[in-house]
């Protein structure tokens, strides 16, 4: 079966359904974020200038502004990588993971190799499984959809002088303390991708960024269209980089952690359902025989969850469920228990 790499949770959400398919936080936008976005609308006549946003993001991660590239969402970063590294001979994507990196590589003409992490190993990375001659490696941390957080020292093992290693940290700010992040690490060939979409509920604004060595940033910028990130998106990047925002994200990460423990514990009471690996992200991957049918029945009961069969390495018996407040989880699990009887 050909996997539809272009399928994403947003197409599973419909009117009236409780959204457990898209892993974007639903909390109302704080005033300190809404105000600068709104104020920026008065400046739309001018082309965007990203200098202040670059400096703010660089400051947040203790990097040099020349090591930051603002992008139209993390998704654009994968396209830039695919376009820049046209001469890569052996690109490898570590799956199961978000499918846009592989889709971007394929549409740029790359022949993509896959390393598939297995449920029986808790979807944990084995650096030795990545072919030694891979000159471009892409991995998510924490990984969508497995929710597994790979260890920074294992990721470092993947870095080589003759290899570009892309670590997608779109969900890293949802992990308390960001213990395994490489965003502050100066490793030759390392490209870290981050997103403002998830924690700040900004999917529609399209804002993310790359942190990498200055030379690599220059190469990626060279294939980016001019003015890629809008003025409101740049205003959001500035606002989300200050100490207050970082502290709020840290608190949100703790809330998510508590809600996820509740979700995992509750899911374990569902007949036939299993989880593999340790969940650390704002979503949980579950194995449930007949999951494809259960997903349809859940829709009938008002809940949208993400199908698992469009992720390489999974299949129709997998579902991804977003972490939400405890009362939402309780309603979902009550229905799941009835369906799984
Ligand atoms: C792991 C991962 N990386 C990146 C993205 C894309 O994020 P953005 O909205 O910043 O393009 C997503 C979106 O679903 C994702 O799940």
pLDDT by residue for the chain (341 residues), tens digit each? Answer: 688 888 888 888 877 889 999 888 888 999 999 999 999 999 999 999 999 999 999 999 999 999 999 999 999 999 999 999 999 999 999 999 999 999 999 999 999 999 999 999 999 999 999 999 999 999 999 999 999 999 999 999 999 989 999 999 999 999 999 999 999 999 999 999 999 999 999 999 999 999 999 999 999 999 999 999 999 999 999 999 999 999 999 999 999 999 999 999 999 999 999 999 999 999 999 999 999 999 999 999 999 999 999 999 999 999 999 999 999 999 999 999 998 76
This prediction has a pTM of 0.97
Q: Is 16 left (phi over 0), alpha (psi -120 to 50) or beta?
A: left
C-alpha 341 – ligand 1 centre gap (Å): 35
C-alpha 208 – ligand 1 centre gap (Å): 9
Distances in whole angstroms, Cα of residue 196 to Cα of each of 3, 13, 207, 274: 28, 21, 6, 31
> What atom in ligand 1 is closest to the CA of residue 97?
1
> What atom in ligand 1 is closest to the CA of residue 195?
10
Helix (H, G, I), strand (E, B) or coil at 227: coil
Instruction: Provide the token pair at 204.
Output: 């529609």
Instruction: Provide the token pair at 110.
Output: 């790359």
Measured from the CB, is residue 58 less than 6 Å from ligand 1? no
C-alpha 331 – ligand 1 centre gap (Å): 27
Ligand 1 mutation target, pool 8, 9, 19, 73, most atoms within 8 A of CB: 73
In 3D space, the residue among 241, 247, 220 whose CA is nearest the CA of residue 77 turns out to be 220
In 3D space, the residue among 123, 151, 166, 159 whose CA is nearest the CA of residue 287 turns out to be 123
> What atom in ligand 1 is closest to the CA of residue 208?
10
> What atom in ligand 1 is closest to the CA of residue 140?
1
Ligand 1 mutation target, pool 7, 197, 206, 240, most atoms within 8 A of CB: 197
In 3D space, the residue among 142, 4, 96 whose CA is nearest the CA of residue 319 turns out to be 96
> What atom in ligand 1 is closest to the CA of residue 168?
3
Measured from the CB, is residue 99 less than 6 Å from ligand 1? no
Instruction: Provide the token pair at 39.
Output: 């104020």
Measured from the CB, is residue 205 less than 6 Å from ligand 1? no
- Pairing between β-strand 318-322 and β-strand 283-287 as defined by DSSP bridges: antiparallel
């Amino acid at each position: 079966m050909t996997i539809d790499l272009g399928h994403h949770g947003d197409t599973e959400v419909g009117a009236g359904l409780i959204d457990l398919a898209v892993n974007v936080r639903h909390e109302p936008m704080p005033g300190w974020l809404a105000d600068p976005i709104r104020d920026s609308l008065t400046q739309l006549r001018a082309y965007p200038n990203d200098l202040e946003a670059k400096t703010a993001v660089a400051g947040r991660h203790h990097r040099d502004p020349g090591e930051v590239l603002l992008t139209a969402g993390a998704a654009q970063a994968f396209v830039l990588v695919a376009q820049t590294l046209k001469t890569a001979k052996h690109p490898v994507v570590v799956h199961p993971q978000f499918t846009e990196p592989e889709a971007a590589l394929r549409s740029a003409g790359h022949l993509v190799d896959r390393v598939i992490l297995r449920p029986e190993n808790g979807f944990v990375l084995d650096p030795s499984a990545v072919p030694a001659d891979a000159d471009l490696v892409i991995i998510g941390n924490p990984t969508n959809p497995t929710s597994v957080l790979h260890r920074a020292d294992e990721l470092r093992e993947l870095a080589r002088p003759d290899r570009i290693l892309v670590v997608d940290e779109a969900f890293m700010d949802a992990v308390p303390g960001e213990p395994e992040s490489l965003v502050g690490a100066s490793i030759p060939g390392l490209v870290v991708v981050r997103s403002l979409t998830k924690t700040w509920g900004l999917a529609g604004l399209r804002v993310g960024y790359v942190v990498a060595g200055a030379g690599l940033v220059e190469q990626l910028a060279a294939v980016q269209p001019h003015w890629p990130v809008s003025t409101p998106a740049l205003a959001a990047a500035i606002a989300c980089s200050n100490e207050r925002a970082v502290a709020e994200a840290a608190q949100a990460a703790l809330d998510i952690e508590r809600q996820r423990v509740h979700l995992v514990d509750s899911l374990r009471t569902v007949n036939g359902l299993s989880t593999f690996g340790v969940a650390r992200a704002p979503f949980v991957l579950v194995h449930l025989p007949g999951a494809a049918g259960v997903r349809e029945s859940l829709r009938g009961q008002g809940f949208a969850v993400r199908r698992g069969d469009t992720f390489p390495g999974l299949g129709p018996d997998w579902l991804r469920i977003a972490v939400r407040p405890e009362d939402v989880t309780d309603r979902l699990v009550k229905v799941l228990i009835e369906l799984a009887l």
